[in-house]
Chains A and B, each alone.
Chain A
């Protein structure tokens, strides 16, 4: 259980919005003292999922929640929601090397490995929400 401190929403409608998602995620991660490795993992996962939202979901939005776990550790949750075609075969989509768009096929599965928590909610024809959670390994400064 975590307390949510602040929430940001970023729309994802064009390529440049992926940069905005990355910057918002990085700024928040830096502000609560995520280490450089943790920041890089978080930003990379955000970049993958934001691009999925744009390319596969025809755009959507990212919701970034800054929270605090019971033991005081800062947490960041990123939820990417689109109203695109959804994912018909979840197992296939999570298989390394499978891509429906000519990519490396590591975005979704890689983001799952980078994150501490991963949740995929999809319905064909309705859309997809992918949520990843990150915890700072060391207590926040101050």
Chain B
């Protein structure tokens, strides 16, 4: 595939389907024929979970979910999971991923989700469905034959909902990461640098969309006031392409800076960008431009009445 980014974009709509599939309301509707209305099966399952606590924790700790954990940690996490599940069954909340029992196992689920973070999604994601087989086997060994299937249903429902709770945590962690990175990116792209008393520079990097461009303008104008700057240098060395929207943004920033008494210099216009801007018909008008940040700085110094000279005593 020639352009992987593009391919990823196309694959994105599947994520919406995933979100729908794991939404608790949609996913659980079909399992309404639960043992929930039968208090006796709820009691016997609860009793089974409590009586065979150690067996269950032992078989769970040996599943693939916990193989990478130290035995002591695995035992503790299994114990917490089981406590939460008992709580869920007692409260009748096995179809509600927001039930208090599930809320109390959140720390365990978060740690499970965190272990998969950074790895490729899919293959090595933690999957709590591996807990179901060993648990149902233990239940079948002990349960009376006539009620076994209703216990199956109840335990399956609990573990299905546990899986949904885990997926919700994973998805919200992903969304949080994206939001955090977007915020970081917006801020990262707009540091205002003081080069000298009265001379500010702002290096613009990457793609200037309207949000980032706006943030850049605002922080520059704020700093012009705060630092009594007389020269503001907009360095576009790191900008990949200057289209008319970016150019318009640069011009507006320059005009706004001038209104506030600072002269604006645009620097870092690379040859291919200069050529493209000419053909596009962009005229930066009276805004001073320089090829490099160093040239712009030298111009800035002369505007504020300073100059750089050789120190002859130390030169030789």
Q: A residues touching B (Cβ–Cβ < 8 Å)?
A: 6, 8, 10, 15-16, 18-20, 22-24, 26-28, 31, 36-37, 39-41, 43-44, 47-48, 51, 66, 96, 103-104, 106-107, 109-111, 113-114
Best-buried of B244, B273, B275, B279 by chain A (most CB within 10 Å): B244
Q: Whole-angstrom distance between the alpha carbons of A110 and B5 in the complex? A: 27
State the Cβ distance, A74 to closest chain B Cβ, in Å: 12
State the Cβ distance, B49 to closest chain A Cβ, in Å: 48
State the Cβ distance, B137 to closest chain A Cβ, in Å: 49
State the Cβ distance, B219 to closest chain A Cβ, in Å: 21
Write the chain A residue with the least CB distance to B271: A37
Is B272 touching A36 in the complex (CB atoms < 8 A)?
Answer: yes
Q: Whole-angstrom distance between the alpha carbons of A23 and B245 in the complex? A: 17
Q: Whole-angstrom distance between the alpha carbons of A96 and B276 in the complex? A: 16
Residue from A27, A40, A51 in contact with B241 in the complex, judged by beta carbons closer than 8 Å: A40
Residue from B3, B244, B280 in contact with A103 in the complex, judged by beta carbons closer than 8 Å: B244
Is B241 touching A106 in the complex (CB atoms < 8 A)?
Answer: no
The 3 closest A-B CB pairs, nearest first, are A110-B280, A27-B3, A40-B272
Is B2 touching A28 in the complex (CB atoms < 8 A)?
Answer: yes
Contacts of B210 in A (CB 8 A): 15
Q: Whole-angstrom distance between the alpha carbons of A110 and B275 in the complex? A: 12
Given contacts A15-B209, A109-B281, contact A27 B5 (CB under 8 A): yes
Best-buried of A28, A39, A104, A107 by chain B (most CB within 10 Å): A104
State the Cβ distance, A55 to closest chain B Cβ, in Å: 10
Contacts of A43 in B (CB 8 A): 240-241
Q: B residues touching A (Cβ–Cβ < 8 Å)?
A: 2-3, 5-6, 9, 207, 209-210, 240-245, 247-248, 271-273, 275-276, 279-282
Contacts of A23 in B (CB 8 A): 3, 5-6
Residue from A24, A27, A31, A96 in contact with B281 in the complex, judged by beta carbons closer than 8 Å: A96
State the Cβ distance, A14 to closest chain B Cβ, in Å: 11
Is B3 touching A24 in the complex (CB atoms < 8 A)?
Answer: yes
Q: Can you name 30 A-B pairs with beta carbons within 8 Å?
A: A8-B6, A10-B6, A10-B9, A15-B210, A16-B209, A19-B207, A20-B6, A22-B207, A23-B5, A24-B6, A26-B240, A37-B272, A37-B276, A40-B241, A43-B241, A44-B241, A44-B242, A44-B243, A44-B280, A48-B243, A103-B245, A104-B244, A104-B247, A106-B280, A106-B282, A107-B244, A109-B281, A113-B280, A114-B279, A114-B280
Contacts of A51 in B (CB 8 A): 243, 245
Is A106 touching B6 in the complex (CB atoms < 8 A)?
Answer: no
Q: Whole-angstrom distance between the alpha carbons of A138 and B93 in the complex? A: 69
Q: Whole-angstrom distance between the alpha carbons of A18 and B9 in the complex? A: 12
Contacts of B6 in A (CB 8 A): 8, 10, 20, 23-24, 27
Query: Contacts A23-B5, A31-B3, A104-B282 given; 19 further ones with Cβ under 8 A?
Result: A15-B210, A19-B209, A20-B6, A23-B3, A40-B241, A41-B272, A44-B242, A44-B243, A44-B280, A47-B243, A48-B243, A103-B244, A103-B248, A104-B244, A104-B248, A106-B280, A110-B244, A110-B279, A110-B281
Best-buried of B6, B207, B210, B240 by chain A (most CB within 10 Å): B6
Is B2 touching A31 in the complex (CB atoms < 8 A)?
Answer: yes
Write the chain A residue with the least CB distance to B206: A19
Best-buried of B210, B245, B271 by chain A (most CB within 10 Å): B245
Write the chain B residue with the least CB distance to A21: B6
Is A22 touching B244 in the complex (CB atoms < 8 A)?
Answer: no
Best-buried of A8, A36, A48, A106 by chain B (most CB within 10 Å): A106
Q: Whole-angstrom distance between the alpha carbons of A103 and B282 in the complex? A: 12
Residue from B5, B273, B281 in contact with A40 in the complex, judged by beta carbons closer than 8 Å: B273
State the Cβ distance, B11 to closest chain A Cβ, in Å: 13
Q: Whole-angstrom distance between the alpha carbons of A28 and B315 in the complex? A: 51
Residue from B240, B244, B275 in contact with A48 in the complex, judged by beta carbons closer than 8 Å: B244
Contacts of B207 in A (CB 8 A): 19, 22
Q: Whole-angstrom distance between the alpha carbons of A18 and B244 in the complex? A: 13
